[in-house]
Chain A
Amino acid sequence: MKTITVRYFAGFREYAGLGEETLQLDVVTAMDVFNETRERHGSTEPTGHCKVAINDEMADWTAKVNDGDTVLLFPPVAGG
C-alpha cells in the first residue's frame, strides 16, 4: 500500500465534493490512481481528454506513482 495525496480540480472537485484527500492505495501507475478514485466517487468521466500531474509535473497515465506522491487529476481543460 502507498500513501497518495490526490488533488481534484474543477468538475472533478465538484464531483468528489472535496479538493484533496490522502488515501492508502494499492496502485502502480497514475491511471490506477484515477481508476481507484473514480470508483470511490462514482465518476464516469473517460480518461480521453483528462490529464494528470505527479508532484507538480505533467505526467503520462502510465507513469509510476511512489509512496508519498501527490497526484493531480485534471478534467478536460478549456483555456482561452
Chain B
Amino acid sequence: MFAISSSDIAVHELRARLSNPGSGGVCVFEGWVRDENEGRTVLRLEYEVYEPLAVAEGEKVIAEAKQQFPFLEATCVHRSGLLEIGDCAVWVGVSARHRNEAFKACRYIIDEIKVRLPIWKKEHYADGDSGWVVCERCANVRHG
C-alpha cells in the first residue's frame, strides 16, 4: 500500500499493518527532515505532491520490489505540505520471511520513490531564502 498524508505519519499504525504470521522480520526506513542541506541551515520543508500520479507510481514501485525481493507485506507513506525539523517525511516498512528480502525491498522502494514520484521539496532557509531541491545525487546512490 502506498499513500500520501497531509498530516503526521502514524508510525505505530503503519508498523501494525506489516504483521504477518509468516514474517521473520521487518525492515523500516524513516526519512526525517534535517536542519541542514549543502551547507545551508534549513528551518522547514514543504512538499508539493501530484497525488494521482504519485500514488499510481508508488504502487508500481512496491509491485516491482515484490517481484524482485518476494516479501509478505509492505507499506509506504509520504508526506505532503509543511514539515518541521525532525518530522517524518517518508515511511517505508517491509516484512518478509527472511531479512534479506526485507532489507533489499525496503532499499529499493525508498530509492525509487525519491527519483520517480511527482513530489517536489522546497527548503526554507534561515537567511529567509527558499528553493526547490534538485537531488541529482539521489539517482547516483540508488540501491547502493
- B90:A76 contact, CB within 8 angstroms: no
Distance between Cα atoms of A75 and B132 in the complex (Å): 10
Give the dominant DSSP class at B's interface: mixed
Which bracket fits the contact residues of A?
10 to 19
Given the interface pairs A9-B48, A10-B122, the reply to whether A80 lies near B90 with Cβ below 8 Å is: yes
- Quick one: which of B53, B57, B110, B121 contacts A78, CB cutoff 8 A? B121
A58 & B114 in contact (Cβ 8 Å cutoff): no
Q: Which residues of A contact B134 (CB under 8 A)?
A: 49, 76, 78
The SS class assigned to the A binding surface is: loop
Considering the chains assembled together, what is the distance between the CA atoms of A49 and B117 in angstroms?
12
CA distance A15 to B24 in the complex (A): 50
B-chain residues with CB within 8 Å of residue A61 when the two chains form the complex: none
Count residues of B near A (Cβ-Cβ below 8 Å): 27
Given contacts A51-B118, A56-B53, contact A79 B113 (CB under 8 A): yes
- B44-56: CB near A (< 8 Å → 1, else 0) gives 0001101011000
Give chain B's interface residues, CB within 8 Å of chain A. 31, 47-48, 50, 52-53, 57, 78, 89-90, 110, 113-122, 132-136, 138
**8 A-B pairs with the lowest CB-CB distances in the bound complex, closest first:** A10-B120, A79-B119, A80-B114, A78-B133, A78-B121, A11-B132, A76-B134, A78-B135
A residues whose Cβ falls under 8 Å from a Cβ of B:
9-11, 49, 51, 53, 56, 58, 72, 74-80
